[in-house]
Each structure stands twice: as structure tokens, then as C-alpha cells.
């Protein structure tokens, strides 16, 4: 059948649904099926691969769980827009993580200013009442598509050194290489929320669309909190990935 790669009978020890899943995944990742293209129907896949409906559904279920396809009730299965993935087992900047996956990652500076911080920032950075911070607000791009609005807050002794610097890339390497700050760990929190008007505009979202908001508090190697961030990602373009071991 047109567009479907046939399996080589008897040449793999893997279950049929795994072979079909892997075949479809390869075709999706190689671009044989474009983003939002409709996959062949279950009946067409059954006929092409010579397998039962339950086998096809197992293969499609795995692809759905991987985020490669989505289903529309009564209309079929479609190719999802691929999401960039940041693995949070290591402390990395956005650009560092994305460059390793072959993406072009850049940033556009919206503003940098000294200001009174919100209460959550005061608590996170262990500031004294009335103490200012430096706020850096940027839009992050993947392959020139806006995917994240980033608000970062720094204690004054660090933040003031950012004025006048090129902030189109990651700030973590600047902290390490220009300022000599050894980074230690980060505490990360995730939640989903509706995008406000500013984030909608900057990320090209429709009214009522949800975003993935990440709160990240980075400490230096001595344990001092040095950078508190709100990272607002497009939900259709990005995901965080964790690995959790049961000890």
C-alpha cells in the first residue's frame, strides 16, 4: 500500500505490534508523514501488514504514548507536531540541551531591569525585605519559532553584571565562564496554566490555550540560590523528561 513500509516476514524476533510501531515511527521521524497528516486507517494498516486490529491498535497506542500521533474521534489518527525534550537529569541551560538534539536555539531580550521582586522571588533567593533584584525577560526560540517566555531573577551582585552583555544565548555558561560561579543544583516545579495576554502574544497562542510553566531555582555549588526563573513553554512544542529510579 502506498506510503506503508512492508515488514520482512520472519526476520525479527520482536512481536508484530512492536515491528509495526517501529516502522511507523521511522516513517514519521523521516518525514514520510508530514505534521498533522492522517495515517492510514486501521483497516488499511491491517490489510497492509496482514495482522489483526488489536495488533494495529497496540502499535498506535505506543505511538500515542510517545507523543508522535494523536486521535480525532471518528476521523482517524494524525501525526503530532514533534516536541523538543529537555532531560532534567542534568542541570543544563535551554540552549545547551537543545543544541545537543540538533536544534538552533536562540533568545531575544525583551527587557533587563533592576526592580522590587515579587514575594515568591524574595523567598526563593533568601532576600531581605526591600532588597532589589535584576529581572531578565526573554523569548526563547527553537529553529526560529517562539516556544518559551522566560523571566529570570538574580541577586544584585550577579544581575548587575549582566547589563550590556549579549543575552541571546544561555546565561548558565556566562555565570560559569565570565563570573566564575560554579553551578550546583536546581529545584524544579511544573504546572499547567492558561497563558496570559502577554505570553499569548509573544508565543502566538490563541485565547484559552494552556502553557507548561516551569519554576526553576538554581543554586551555586555552595548552596546559595542565585537564579529564580519562570519558564512558560508552548504545550505543543516542548516537554520536560524525568528519570526516576525506585531504590
What are the φ/ψ torsions at residue 116 (nearest 5 degrees)? Answer: -75, 130
Asked whether residue 57 carries a pLDDT value surpassing 60, the answer given is yes
Query: What gap in Å lies between CA 235 and CA 190, rounded to an integer?
Result: 12
- Single out the residue of 188, 192, 152 nearest to residue 172, CA to CA: 152
Chosen domain end from 79, 109, 132: 79
Domain that holds residue 48: 16-79
Contacts 24+ apart (CB under 8 A), 23-26: 24/59, 24/60, 24/63, 25/63, 25/66, 25/68
Asked whether residue 2 carries a pLDDT value surpassing 50, the answer given is no
Query: What gap in Å lies between CA 168 and CA 109, rounded to an integer?
Result: 7
Does residue 122 sit in the same domain as residue 47?
no
Quote the mean pLDDT of the chain.
88
Does residue 94 sit in the same domain as residue 144?
yes
pLDDT at 8: 55
Is residue 120 in some structural domain?
A: yes
- DSSP three-state, residue 2: coil
Is residue 7 in some structural domain?
A: no
Does residue 104 sit in the same domain as residue 39?
no
Residue 211 near residue 231 (C-beta atoms within 8 A): no
CATH code of the domain containing 109: 3.40.1410.10
Does residue 178 sit in the same domain as residue 235?
yes
pLDDT at 176: 95
Q: Higher confidence at residue 154 or residue 75?
A: 154
Other CB atoms within a 10 A radius of the CB of residue 40 amount to 20
Does residue 132 sit in the same domain as residue 60?
no
Does residue 50 sit in the same domain as residue 137?
no
Convert 192-229 to b/e letters by CB count within 10 Å (16 or more is b).
eeebeeebbebbebeeeeebbbbbbbbbbeeeebbbbb
Is residue 205 in some structural domain?
A: yes
- DSSP three-state, residue 44: helix
Is residue 247 in some structural domain?
A: no
pLDDT tens digits, residue range 164-183?
A: 999 999 999 999 999 999 99
Does residue 36 sit in the same domain as residue 141?
no
Residues 20/26/31/33 CA torsion (nearest 10 deg): 10
Nine-digit cell string for 63: 505511538
Q: What is the DSSP letter of 32?
A: S
Does residue 108 sit in the same domain as residue 196?
yes
Does residue 97 sit in the same domain as residue 31?
no
Does residue 95 sit in the same domain as residue 210?
yes
- Helix (H) or strand (E) run with residue 136 in it: strand 133-142
pLDDT at 144: 84
Residue 104 near residue 144 (C-beta atoms within 8 A): yes
* Cα 64 versus chain centre, distance: 17
Does residue 28 sit in the same domain as residue 128?
no
pLDDT tens digits, residue range 132-156?
A: 999 999 999 987 889 999 999 999 9
Question: What DSSP assignment string belongs to 158-202?
Answer: HHGGGTTS--SS-SHHHHHHTS-PPEEEEEEEEEEEE--HHHHHH
CATH code of the domain containing 70: 1.10.10.10
Chosen domain end from 50, 79, 108: 79
* Cα 59 versus chain centre, distance: 25
Indicate the pTM of the whole model. Answer: 0.69
Chosen domain end from 79, 97, 129: 79
Query: What gap in Å lies between CA 147 and CA 233, rounded to an integer?
Result: 6
Is residue 136 in some structural domain?
A: yes
Query: What's the total number of domains in the chain?
Result: 2
Does residue 116 sit in the same domain as residue 63?
no
Amino acid at each position: 500500500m502506498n506510503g506503508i513500509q512492508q515488514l520482512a516476514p520472519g526476520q525479527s524476533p520482536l512481536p508484530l505490534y512492536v515491528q509495526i510501531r517501529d516502522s511507523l515511527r521511522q516513517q514519521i521521524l523521516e518525514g514520510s508523514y508530514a505534521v498533522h497528516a492522517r495515517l492510514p486507517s486501521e483497516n488499511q494498516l491491517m490489510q497492509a501488514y496482514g495482522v489483526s486490529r488489536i495488533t494495529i491498535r497496540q502499535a498506535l497506542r505506543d505511538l500515542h504514548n510517545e507523543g508522535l500521533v494523536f486521535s480525532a474521534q471518528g476521523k482517524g489518527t494524525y501525526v503530532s507536531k514533534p516536541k523538543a525534550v529537555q532531560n532534567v537529569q542534568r542541570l543544563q541551560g535551554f540552549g545547551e540541551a537543545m543544541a545537543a538534539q540538533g536544534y538552533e536555539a536562540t533568545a531575544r531580550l525583551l527587557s533587563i531591569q533592576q526592580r522590587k521582586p515579587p514575594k515568591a522571588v524574595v523567598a526563593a533567593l533568601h532576600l531581605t525585605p526591600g532588597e532589589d533584584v535584576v529581572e531578565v525577560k526573554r523569548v526563547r526560540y527553537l529553529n526560529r519559532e517562539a516556544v518559551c517566555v522566560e523571566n529570570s531573577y538574580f541577586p544584585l551582585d550577579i544581575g548587575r553584571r549582566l547589563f550590556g552583555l549579549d543575552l541571546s544565548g544561555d546565561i548558565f555558561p556566562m555565570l560559569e565562564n565570565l563570573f566564575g560561579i560554579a553551578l550546583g543544583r536546581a529545584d524544579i516545579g511544573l504546572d499547567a496554566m492558561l497563558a496570559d495576554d502577554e505570553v499569548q502574544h509573544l508565543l502566538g497562542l490563541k485565547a484559552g490555550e494552556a502553557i507548561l510553566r516551569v519554576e526553576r531555582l538554581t543554586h551555586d555549588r555552595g548552596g546559595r540560590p542565585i537564579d529564580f526563573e519562570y519558564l512558560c513553554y508552548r504545550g505543543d512544542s516542548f516537554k520536560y523528561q524525568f528519570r526516576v529510579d525506585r531504590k
